[in-house]
Amino acid sequence: MPKHNMVTATKIAAMLLGAADAAGRSSRAISLKNHTVLSILAAVNQGNAAPVTFTVTQALDAQGTGAKPITNPLPIWANQDTAASDTMVRQADGVAFTTSATLAHKQVVFHIDPANLDVNNGYAYVILTTSASNAANITSANAFGEGARYGNEAGGPSLLT
């Protein structure tokens, strides 16, 4: 077994469980307090040509208090057809990404350094929202915390507190 693997080097938390996304929805808040970087892997099984926009916002706590836009652009990667390729393509930095209208399974990754948040005012949590699209579009998202600041047993400290 390797010395480091995904489970021991990364803390993983479900943000959005897979569900129809006709009206759009918001994820649970994920903490960046105890990790040096967070990646969000958002996915959509796009069964309708209505595009989906994924947007990352910031909050003060796990309840989403004071949620507001992030003003510093984040690195974004996307794969607009995972059946055709496993290559993530670098996109323009931003805080949101809109999928194409093509019917396909898609993945989007947001890479978040805590310094991108309004840390001076206590913002240490992120929330992922999806735009209204169509019930045939099934969305989901997971968070991956890396670089645990305090210990790293079984993936390190929680992303949920």
pLDDT in tens, 64-115: 999 999 999 999 999 999 999 999 999 999 999 999 999 999 999 999 999 9
> In angstroms, how far is CA 125 from the centroid of its own chain?
12
Domain over 25-139 is classified CATH 1.10.357: no
Give φ, ψ of 154 to 5 degrees.
50, 40
Decide: 43 and 68 in contact? Cβ < 8 Å. Answer: no
Domain range summary for the chain, segments of one domain joined by +: 25-139
Rg (CA), the chain: 16
Q: Quote the pLDDT of residue 154.
A: 55
pTM of the model: 0.93
CA distance 52 to 99: 5
Read off the pLDDT of residues 16-34 as tens digits, 9 standing for 90 and up.
999 998 899 999 999 999 9
CA distance 128 to 110: 10
